[in-house]
Structure 1
């Protein structure tokens, strides 16, 4: 019977410095925290020169007002029209008028042709807010009697949870400052929850697959 060889190469997780995502907060391997905000976009080209200048000045004032670094990231993906086409296909089945069914089929073919001819891209804008506190400490090596009678593991878990809550409170204050600053020049933002944050990392490290949807602002 042939022996099964175990893969000894690097795993994908080895290249991702994320320890866990807890309550929408990304915990890195060094113990620092990150909050991810999904932000709306402004088409500044459609604004008047005075409005453009006002937005730029507000953005400059926002950057000068914060005392911590932030990261602005843009994630671009080819727009997935499959859900929209499926919706149109269902409407064809529900249509009773032959003319409307024919027009809907022609519209579907036009959408397919247009999507193949032009790279229709969807963009999502994120603002990453960091907080770097002291790393979560690990429990020191203890003998069997300490583990049985002193409850060291439970105590260490409680201390780690308390430290996380303290650091999360500091991070949430920064998030509130960033959201308030963005709103001054018309940019709406919402913090991603745990599931949505996981989707961001999934889409980032699986660019060849269909873009898994993250709800738009206000949904």
Structure 2
């Protein structure tokens, strides 16, 4: 067999080389240009069940929120398949322990109904995210600073960490502003942690291999978008 050096073949580049993401740390996505991103997961609201007055109030609040922003945001909706087999197994266990014959039959019928339902259609869960950016500053490092960084690499690392801390603090102020606005629309929001960000990125770039969301109890299976 010919070696790669003789055939002129070059090793394929890692997928990460084609992504804009440099690293994920402290609940923040760091891009290769130095920009930062924070991600809020936001609950939903059943708009159609609101009265006309409530709908108008929501629209006005959302409009005021958008007009108050001094920075761009992205809204992402991600759909993932729900795996409710564990939930059905738990129901079967409850059914076997049920002493009331009527309740046992009703539970069995419900299990059969849901089982047939998932044979013909996938039950999907929609999750909503708000992505909040902080664009990297355009300042350039001076000549003397470059010399000092070459002489003391530890100093450069310290400066970079200090810059990150300042940028992250500014980003979190934006996150608080957006989260407060979400609360004004009766929407709950949470900032994704580092681990949750890694999972979100993996699932976003690996749609075919992403694991379905496993549901073990009816409390986890919230089919209504909200009140």
With the shorter chain as reference, the TM-score category is 0.7 to 0.9
CA contact (8 A) 1:136 1:163 kept: no
Q: Secondary structure at the match of 2:23?
A: strand
Q: Cα distance 1:29–1:7, how it changes in 2: closer, same or farther (>3 A)?
A: same
The alignment yields a C-alpha RMSD, in angstroms, of 3.1
**Would you say how many aligned residue pairs link Structure 1 and Structure 2?**
207
Residue in 2 that maps onto 1:53: 56
CA distance in 1, matches of 2:130, 2:36: 14
Q: Cα distance 1:135–1:106, how it changes in 2: closer, same or farther (>3 A)?
A: farther
Q: Secondary structure at the match of 1:79?
A: strand
Q: Secondary structure at the match of 1:134?
A: coil
CA distance in 2, matches of 1:4, 1:106: 64
Say whether residues 1:196 and 2:201 are aligned partners.
no
Residue in 1 that maps onto 2:212: 211
CA contact (8 A) 1:37 1:189 kept: yes
Q: TM-score, normalised by structure 2?
A: 0.78
Residue in 2 that maps onto 1:66: 69
CA distance in 1, matches of 2:68, 2:124: 33
CA distance in 2, matches of 1:7, 1:104: 60
Deviation sequence 1:10-56 (CA, Å, 0-9, x none): 43213321111111100011110000000010111001111111100
Match of 1:36 among 39, 50, 55: 39
Residue in 2 that maps onto 1:111: 114
Match of 1:16 among 3, 10, 19: 19
Between 43-52 and 132-141, the greater mean CA deviation after superposition: 132-141
| Unaligned stretches of 5+ residues in structure 2 | 215-219, 223-227
Kindly state the Cα deviation for residue 111 of structure 1 after the two structures are TM-superposed. 1.2
CA distance in 1, matches of 2:22, 2:83: 31
| Unaligned stretches of 5+ residues in structure 1 | none
Map 1:114-125; keep pairs closer than 5 Å. 114-125=117-128
Say whether residues 1:132 and 2:131 are aligned partners.
no
Q: Secondary structure at the match of 1:187?
A: coil
CA contact (8 A) 1:32 1:135 kept: no
CA distance in 2, matches of 1:98, 1:51: 44
CA contact (8 A) 2:80 2:212 kept: yes
Between 175-184 and 3-12, the greater mean CA deviation after superposition: 3-12
CA contact (8 A) 2:83 2:213 kept: no
CA distance in 2, matches of 1:43, 1:160: 44
